[in-house]
């Protein structure tokens, strides 16, 4: 489960934080546009509260901060600050277009239309809603990005809703937004969606997996460090410059694997992933060759997303190998 620190950070986000994050990516960017959007949004939402009891403006500011941290442009950050004004205040789309121009108004309109999509069951969510969002993505992917971060902040603060509503939001997030985050290549958001929804929808299994992961954490961390150092040495010997990082698999992915394979937690061994980021495509294939020559690759587990990129142009090579102690990696 993501730490509460992540939640608190966005819940208490300020305009100054948004501006600082934006300037880190765009030193010469249009900060005045962001400040003006915040002024309009703050006035429009004056007196409104969220279910958490916080002033409503904390939500669009939190969404804007996350977008700024991910390097989005000033128009998108401004649209995020204003994204609930048409839906929840007396401001009209025409007002926004007059004040901020067609580009920002169009993005806000796109988010507003997505907000109006309602889900009655999983089948409808997976069909109608994904179609609706893919259409939005095709017109302007930034509309979908705003909506993803909007949902991310909402799922982080979902505890303020009654239990039935929490489960509905979690199911919708798991079925619709997590796959879309995956398609956009924002894996950290996909994983956070999945783990937070897993905790709401399956609290028992979630708690069990958390406990078992905690019990094996020291062993797992030592294994990750050992593998990272071994891979770094392999790459250095061949003159390949790369960053190498490791991480444990996420709780929901472990649960899904247990269900799909019909195996208990103790029999799930591939709980760790290693990421190698190189400076060129040639070095990426070279690193793959080194890994495959050093350890035994698992048949059928290799995927080449360089030769066949994903829809979001994500490019990488995926493989699974068996390391000396018999564990898949």
What is the rounded average pLDDT of the residues 66-80?
A: 96
Q: What is the reported pLDDT for 327? A: 76
Lowest mean pLDDT across 46-60, 125-139, 171-185: 125-139
What is the rounded average pLDDT of the residues 168-188?
A: 86
Q: What DSSP assignment string belongs to 69-105?
A: HTT--HHHHHHHHTTTHHHHSS--HHHHHHHH-HHHH
The reported pTM is 0.79
Indicate the DSSP class of residue 160: G
251 vs 101 pLDDT, higher one = 101
Give the C-alpha separation, 135 to 143, whole Å. 10
Give the C-alpha separation, 146 to 125, whole Å. 19
Q: Which of 318, 325, 323 is nearest to 301 (CA)?
A: 318
**Cβ 220 vs Cβ 271: under 8 Å:** yes
Q: What is the reported pLDDT for 55? A: 94
**Cβ 160 vs Cβ 50: under 8 Å:** yes
- pLDDT of 117 > 70? The answer is no
Catalytically active residues, by annotation: 87-88
Give the C-alpha separation, 1 to 189, whole Å. 12
Give the C-alpha separation, 114 to 181, whole Å. 15
Lowest mean pLDDT across 10-19, 188-197, 237-246: 10-19
Q: What is the reported pLDDT for 130? A: 64
Segment holding 18, helix H or strand E: helix 15-25
Domains contained in the chain, CATH given: 4-201 (1.10.3210.10), 217-322 (3.30.460.10)
State both tokens at 280: 């060129």
Lowest mean pLDDT across 8-12, 21-25, 93-97, 113-117: 8-12
Lowest mean pLDDT across 2-6, 40-44, 298-302, 322-326: 2-6
Indicate the pLDDT class of residue 134, thresholds 50, 70 and 90.
low
Helix, strand, coil percentages (3-state) for the chain, rounded to 5, are: 65, 10, 25
**Cβ 152 vs Cβ 184: under 8 Å:** no
What confidence tens digit (pLDDT) does each residue in 252-297 have? 988 888 888 788 777 776 678 889 999 999 999 999 999 999 998 8
State both tokens at 89: 């205040």
- pLDDT of 216 > 90? The answer is no
- pLDDT of 98 > 50? The answer is yes
Map residue 274 onto helix, strand or coil.
strand
- pLDDT of 136 > 70? The answer is no
What confidence tens digit (pLDDT) does each residue in 14-23 have? 999 999 999 9
**Cβ 270 vs Cβ 220: under 8 Å:** no
- pLDDT of 86 > 80? The answer is yes
Distance (Å) of CA 321 to CA 35, 221, 248, 290, 298: 51, 19, 16, 12, 5
Q: What is the reported pLDDT for 5? A: 39
Give the C-alpha separation, 90 to 93, whole Å. 10
Give the dihedral sign, CA 118/124/130/131: negative
Ramachandran quadrant class, 92 (left: phi over 0; alpha: psi -120 to 50; beta: rest) = beta
Q: What is the chain's mean pLDDT, rounded?
A: 86
């Amino acid at each position: 489960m993501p730490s509460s620190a992540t939640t608190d950070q966005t819940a208490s986000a300020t305009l100054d934080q948004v501006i600082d994050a934006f300037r880190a990516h765009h030193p010469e960017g249009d900060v005045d546009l962001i400040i003006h959007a915040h002024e309009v949004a703050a006035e429009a939402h004056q007196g409104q509260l969220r279910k958490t009891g916080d002033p409503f403006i904390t939500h669009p500011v939190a969404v804007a901060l996350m977008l700024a941290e991910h390097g989005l442009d000033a128009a998108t950050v401004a649209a995020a600050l204003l994204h609930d004004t048409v839906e929840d205040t007396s401001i009209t789309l025409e007002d926004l277009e007059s004040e901020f121009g067609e580009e920002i108004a169009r993005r806000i309109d796109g988010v507003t239309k997505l907000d109006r999509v309602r889900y009655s069951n999983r089948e409808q969510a997976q069909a109608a809603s994904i179609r609706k969002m893919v259409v939005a993505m095709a017109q302007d992917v930034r509309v979908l990005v705003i909506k993803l971060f909007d949902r991310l902040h909402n799922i982080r603060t979902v505890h303020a809703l009654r239990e039935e509503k929490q489960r509905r939001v979690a199911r919708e997030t798991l079925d619709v937004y997590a796959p879309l985050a995956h398609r956009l290549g924002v894996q950290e958001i996909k994983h956070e969606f999945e783990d937070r929804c897993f905790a709401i929808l399956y609290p028992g299994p979630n708690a069990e997996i958390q406990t078992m992961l905690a019990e094996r954490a020291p062993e797992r961390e030592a294994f990750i460090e050992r593998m990272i150092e071994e891979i770094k040495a392999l790459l250095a010997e061949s003159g390949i410059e790369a960053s190498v990082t490791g991480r444990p698999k996420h709780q929901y992915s472990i649960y899904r694997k247990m269900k799909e394979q019909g195996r208990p937690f103790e029999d799930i061994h591939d709980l760790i992933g290693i990421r190698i980021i190189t400076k060129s495509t040639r070095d990426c294939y070279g690193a793959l060759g080194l890994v495959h020559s050093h350890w035994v690759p698992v048949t059928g587990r290799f995927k080449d997303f360089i030769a066949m990129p994903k829809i979001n142009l994500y490019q990488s090579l995926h493989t699974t190998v068996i390391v000396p102690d018999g564990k898949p990696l």
